[in-house]
Amino acid sequence: MAVTRLTQPECEALLAELPAWRLREDGLAIERTLRFADFNTAFGFMTRVAIEAEKSDHHPEWFNVYNRVEITLTTHDADGLSARDGKLARFIETAAAAAS
C-alpha cells in the first residue's frame, strides 16, 4: 500500500522533535541506538515495541546485542520516511524511558 513520504520540512520538524534520532546518510531513514541495564531490560523493551509494531502494521529494523538495541525506522511502502516512522519513534521514546 502506498504511503505519503514526508517532505523535507516535515523531516526537519520530526528530527527537531526527536533529538536522540539522526537521519541516515541517504535521508531515507532515522536511526537511534539505545542501551539498557541488561539483556532482560532490552528484550522487555523490544517486546513492547514489537507488540505496538504489529498493532500498527509498521515494523522496525533493529539489531540487538546484550543490552544494546540499534533501531532504524523507514517506510518501505513510501521508499523513505513517513508519518508512521514518527509515530513509532515517539512510542519507542516512551517505552525506552519506562524501561530505563
Q: Considering the rule CB under 6 A, would residue 31 count as an interface residue with ligand HBI?
A: no
For residue 80, give every residue at least 6 positions away whose Cβ sits within 8 Å of its Cβ, in sequence order, or none.
5, 6, 27, 28, 29, 74
Least distance to ligand HBI, CB of residue 47, Å: 17
Contact 10, 42 (CB under 8 A): no
HSE, CB side, 13 Å, CA atoms: give it for residue 55.
9
Q: Considering the rule CB under 6 A, would residue 75 count as an interface residue with ligand HBI?
A: yes
15 versus 67: smaller Cβ distance to ligand HBI: 15
Q: Considering the rule CB under 6 A, would residue 77 count as an interface residue with ligand HBI?
A: yes
Q: Considering the rule CB under 6 A, would residue 90 count as an interface residue with ligand HBI?
A: no
Q: Kind and range of the H or E element at 63?
A: strand 61-65
The count of residues interacting with ligand HBI (CB under 6 A) is: 8
Binding-site ranges for ligand HBI (CB under 6 A): 1, 57-59, 74-77
